[in-house]
Structure 1
Amino acid sequence: MKLSSSHMDNIPSTPGKFKMEKSPYVHRFRHYSSLAKLTFWSSVFLALIILFFFKSPSTSPPNSTPPDLSRRSLKTTFWGGPAWEKRVRSSARIRSQNGLSVLVTGAAGFVGTHVSAALKRRGDGVLGLDNFNNYYDPSLKRARQALLERSGIYIVEGDINDAALLNKLFEVVPFTHVMHLAAQAGVRYAMENPSSYVHSNIAGLVNVLEVCKNANPQPAIVWASSSSVYGLNTKVPFSEKDRTDQPASLYAATKKAGEEIAHTYNHIYGLSLTGLRFFTVYGPWGRPDMAYFFFTRDILKGKSIPVFEGSNHGTVARDFTYIDDIVKGCLGALDTAEKSTGSGGKKKGPAQLRVFNLGNTSPVPVTDLVSILEKLLKVKAKRKMMKLPRNGDVQFTHANISFAQREFGYKPTTDLQSGLKKFVRWYVSYYDSGKKNSH
């Protein structure tokens, strides 16, 4: 739900002091009891809250097909019942000694799919949750879902803001860990649909933490922050100790807000929380809104591609990180996450609170990315050089990963050329069929 500032400005900040000078009705207002006033304003705010949470904003990008209106409700159909609970338990069953039982939100997403598969391979219990929104082609998410189902991973279709569903999942399975990857991604799209970022990245995170803090036992939580939180920071490489109070986009601001919210729930409720700041993740089964992905598509179609440059023809570079290296970091964070210390929503003692950079430590100019793709695709790109727009994109990113190296041995091993080779092989295989050429 979008609330206009002009509408909110019309609501008095202190209703009890609201005055109507020279009005013939002023005496009538004075006869209202304080209880009536309290009831009225409570009803107003309750209505706003209900409208916000039960009217999920569209997550369709600009110029996309109209959204499926059935997906605008937080109420998830087709969950519950003995058969459903059996599928949930089976998927989350631990099959290795000392294994974890992990709820993965955003499991049909890019990182979520790879992390879920890796956890399952080593014998952990894994249950997925995803709302399959249409921010990008849902058929790709369905294909990832099918991939995971073949390995025994069940993805519950639902929204992270659906508290009833989340509570039910925790009733059925006493998860030891939550890998919270569900989020509204993308820097530029935030200018088109800001409410979707607040809905998913702030309200959604709060709802997940609320359910986790009330669970008994409380799970340890690892969640996806972003390298975007460094915003306008110019000190390189980016360290977890650097300031992150100058976001360059709304997306970055919501992720920074998430880190502050995590601190609050850790402090008050004893939740063990680990935030992961991902740096430009790429690879097979990736996101179509990422540059390397749509560059590949448009180069093959003979279309021109926008290659941005900074002021005074400055280089735009990214710390591209291959998906397998990100997965290693996610599993390392899960394995070293300490238990939460709360019980029944009450903190019993200090709990672990961490944040890590997960990058490749080797920034590569975007022009070099295009050159590598040209060689792999054997097609010359039609480059259209453009100034970096003021839409939230930053000129460069560079991760300092020493903290993650020290805590759980994080060490990326895939360079951009090798990673893009694997991506192109997957891309050609996946899209080289008549059914998928219209993506």
Structure 2
Amino acid sequence: MSTPILVTGAAGFIGYHVAERLMAQGRRVVGVDCFTPYYDVALKEARFARLTPHGLFSGERVDLSDPQAARDLFRRHRFERVIHLAAQPGVRFVDPMPYASSNLVGFMNMLEACRHSGVGHLVYASSSSVYGANRTLPFSEHESTEHPISLYAATKKANEMMAHSYASLFGLPATGLRFFTVYGPWGRPDMAVYKFTHAIAEGREIQVANAGRVWRDFTYVDDIVEGIVRLVDRAPAANPAWDAEHPDPATSAAPHRVYNIGNDNPEEVNDLIALIEDALGRRANRVDIALPPGDVPETRADVTDLRRDVGFAPSTSLADGVGRFVRWYREYHGA
């Protein structure tokens, strides 16, 4: 493809890995980020610095919540494919305004820019948190997501509805990906694998919700990236069999789809902690806490649809993934 692919949030965890994988395939990437200080900006700068020297990469610092900045970005480049991963993350973050700015206003600006630029496919980040109060496991795209229990989840649910409306009104092909607990090298310090590893390595206590009896569909970042790059050139088509009297949330009469993208193999947090302890050669100083508001006791992804449509097959075990992460952690922190 002669035109570059836009990757937003390219200084972020998943965005960085997506940009690397695309360039490894010989594809040009324009990566943008605004380097918000939700976590250590030095880690974002380090990721971006690794991408910048690559001949296929063009990096820009753009705040997508600024509509003019978003329009100017699309005027400078001719994007046929957009992977939108920029967002305010975190189910426990308490300030509502960054969610509104990044996840709602920023996403609207992206939709408008894609619409007016004739983008052929928008792949955007949703989240497993949209399942909210739903306790039907495994989580399926064909089930309801009408009861989010965090503001972050509500904004991601809103993104799905906004994208669907643009697909319906303007024919903008869009695919939403519901990520399930992604971890790996260059990961986010606020998430369990990194947070536990950092605390245990430094001899600090870790707070363990519900005595560790919490299950997550931990998904190694390379498996996530494989799913994304397989999807980017497969724009969804309208489903002619979609039944308005029995609407299926996973598909549509418009060119819009949502997919779960996860490991389909939930692991107990106690097992995760044990693997980190073994990899570090140190025991954790655990403090038990209640399950925080906005968290759920278990997640599990039904990835049947993504497996069928693009052959998605996560292959990294938690033991292997944690080992790789800890090796990166030691190198990055000089530990």
Q: Fold conserved (TM > 0.5)?
A: yes
Q: Which residue of 1 aligns with 2:226?
A: 328
Map of 1:201 onto structure 2: 103
Within a 5 Å distance, the mapping from 1:20-419 to structure 2 comes to 98=1, 101-152=4-55, 153-189=57-93, 192-215=94-117, 217-309=118-210, 315-338=213-236, 351-389=254-292, 391-419=293-321
Alpha-carbon distance, 1:164 to partner: 2.1
The 2-side partners of 1:203 and 1:170 are apart by 17
Query: In the aligned structure 1, how far is the partner of 2:312 from the partner of 2:277?
Result: 31
| Deviation, structure 1 residue 332 | 1.4
What whole-Å deviation, never above 9, does each CA across 1:58-106 have from its counterpart, x for those lacking one?
Answer: xxxxxxxxxxxxxxxxxxxxxxxxxxxxxxxxxxxxxxxx466211111
Q: 1:420 aligns with which of 322, 326, 333?
A: 322
Alpha-carbon RMSD: 1.6
Summarize the Cα distance change of 1:112–1:321 in structure 2 as closer, same or farther, 3 Å threshold.
same
In structure 1, what is the Cα distance between the partners aligned to 2:124 and 2:331? 31
If the length of structure 1 is used for normalisation, what is the TM-score?
A: 0.71
Structure 2: 5+ residue stretches without partners:
239-252
Q: 1:329 to 1:99 in 2, by over 3 A?
A: farther
Letter of the aligned partner of 1:222 in structure 2? V
Measure, in 2, the Cα distance between the counterparts of 1:132 and 1:162: 14
Amino acid at match of 1:403: D
Shift of 1:260: 0.7
Secondary structure in 1 aligned to 2:207? strand
Report the Cα distance in structure 1 between the residues aligned to 2:320 and 2:273, rounded to whole angstroms.
Answer: 14
2:177, 2:258 within 8 Å by CA — same for their partners in 1?
yes
Which of the two has higher C-alpha Rg?
Answer: 1
The answer to whether the 8 A contact 1:357-1:399 is kept is yes
Of structures 1 and 2, the one scoring higher in RCO (CA 8 A, sep 6+) is 2
Are the equivalent residues in 1 in contact too, given 2:128–2:179 (CA < 8 A)? yes
C-alpha spacing 1:412/1:106, structure 2 compared with 1 (3 Å): same
Residue 225 of structure 1 aligns to a residue in which SS? Answer: strand
- Residues 168-207 of structure 1 show CA distances to partners (whole Å, capped at 9, x for unaligned) of 2222221111100000000101xx2111111111111011
Matches of 1:420 and 1:100 in 2, distance apart?
Answer: 36
Structure 1 residue 335, shift from structure 2 partner: 2.2
| 1:366 partner letter | V
Identity of aligned residues (%): 47
User: What is the one-letter code of the residue matched to 1:372?
Assistant: L
Equivalenced residue count is 320
- For structure 1, the residue ranges without an aligned partner over 5 or more in a row are 1-97, 341-349, 434-439
What is the rounded CA distance, in whole Å, between the counterparts of 1:103 and 1:124 in structure 2?
11
